[in-house]
Amino acid sequence: MSFFRGRRLRQTETLRDILAENRVMKEDLIMPYFIMDTNEKHFRKEISSMPCQYQLSEYELIKQVEKSVNKGLKSLILFGIPTKKDPEGTGAYDANGIIQKAVRALKSNFPNLIVITDVCLCEYTSHGHCGLVQNEKVLNDPTLKLLAQVALSHVEAGADIVAPSDMMDGRVQAIRTALDTYNFTETPIMSYSVKYASSFYGPFREAAEGAPQFGDRRTYQMDFRNTHECFLESGADVAEGADILIVKPGIAYLDILRNLRNTCALPLAAYQVSGEYSMIKAAAMQGWLDEEAVVFETLTASKRAGANLILSYFTEDVLDYLDK
């Protein structure tokens, strides 16, 4: 037998704990919320494909966030569901749109909470695509102006960080330029830099009511058969002025996350997406998986692969677990 005995350092819980290289902390986690534009003050509707996740009215959002902040929530990301959609997604940059209202309410109630907004058009366009459409084609450059307008409207409402998720080429630069022009030079951009066209987004499209009405998103989101594009996408976003990069989805893309960690010095975030949440939740509800254990294992895997931050629908649960 060699001199190495792996079991020496695994003998007791305390020994394992002091030697653990990676651990999940409250500060790592970003909770996504779905906010509905509705006059129904107490609106709270469970998302059938994401048990225990809700579409919330502004009032219910504030109530829920208050509980989470008291448990140690540091940051959240907002997705809006507007009352009306049109081909240009004009509701996305309405100063009195759902996100803009929610951001103002959140920042006045919780000034220290980091409020991140998802910048995209798909929840606001009648066709459900993330950009302007002509003859069933998603147009890149004409969409940039709109995305910049959306981001600016979020920041004017008080958003701390904007997170473009559309995957149009050049959008980080367009947003950076617009923010700088209006003196929001200090507002960071957290870019969904490496975002694959994934079937794991299925439940989200029910939650945010933003499913494409024709075709799919494969002409703008990345092909999951490819690795090397991740360097081009992240390199472009770094050059355009991104401050934090997101890799999405999470658990099936840890190789990609590790690639970025090894080559890029910006903070990185992993997005444990809706389908990952639903898989774990469904198996746990059947009694087939230990939810808490699997949640910690998957989140820790993201940290091990190089994530500084993790967007996860389990965030509120983890805040409770960490208090135990």
Contacting residue, 54, 204, 220, 314, with ligand PBG by CB under 6 A: 204
Question: Which CA distances in Å does 180 have to 115, 129, 314?
Answer: 19, 27, 35
Nearer to ligand PBG, 256 or 287 (CB): 256
Q: How near is the Cβ of 152 to ligand PBG at its closest, in Å?
A: 18
Quote the least distance from Cβ 21 to ligand PBG, whole Å.
Answer: 28
Tokens describing residue 225 = 């058969």
CB 247 within 8 Å of CB 272 = no
Q: Which of 24, 81, 102, 122 binds ligand PBG (CB under 6 A)?
A: 122
- What is the contact mask toward ligand PBG in residues 214 to 233, using x (rule: CB under 6 A)? ---x----------------
Nearest to 231 by CA among 252, 258, 250: 258
Query: 126 vs 66, 149, 211, 213, 218, CA distance in Å?
Result: 33, 18, 10, 8, 19
Question: Of residues 152-171, which lie at the interface with ligand PBG (CB under 6 A)?
Answer: 165
β-sheet bridge partners, residue 248: 195
d(CA 69, CA 306): 26
Tokens representing residue 299 in the block? 């989140």
Which of 119/263 has CB closer to ligand PBG? 119
Least distance (Å) from ligand PBG to the CB of residue 302?
14
Q: Which of 58, 118, 209, 240 binds ligand PBG (CB under 6 A)?
A: 118
- Least distance between ligand PBG and beta carbon 139 (Å): 16
* Residue 150 and residue 164 in contact, taking contact as beta carbons nearer than 8 Å: no
Choose, by CB under 6 A, the member of 57, 274, 278, 302 that binds ligand PBG.
Answer: 274
Query: Minimum distance between the CB of residue 222 and ligand PBG, rounded to whole angstroms?
Result: 11
Please provide residue 264's backbone torsions phi and psi, each rounded to the nearest 5 degrees. -130, 135
- Output the smallest distance, CB 272 to ligand PBG, in A: 8
Residue 120 CA to residue 175 CA, distance in Å, equals 12
Select from 73, 130, 151, 157 the one that contacts ligand PBG (CB under 6 A): 130
Identified binder of ligand PBG from the candidate list 201, 220, 253, 314, rule CB under 6 A: 201
DSSP-derived pairing of the beta strands 137-138 and 133-134:
antiparallel
Q: Does 30 bind ligand PBG (CB under 6 A)?
A: no
Tokens of 312: 């996860």
Catalytic residue positions, numbered: 195, 248
How many residues touch ligand PBG under the rule CB under 6 A: the total is 10
Q: CB neighbours (10 Å) of residue 45?
A: 15
Q: For the chain, what is the radius of gyration of the CA atoms?
A: 20
Residue closest to ligand PBG, measured at CB: 204
Nearer to ligand PBG, 38 or 165 (CB): 165
Q: Where along the sequence are the contacts to ligand PBG (CB under 6 A)?
A: 118, 120, 122, 130, 165, 201, 204, 217, 273-274
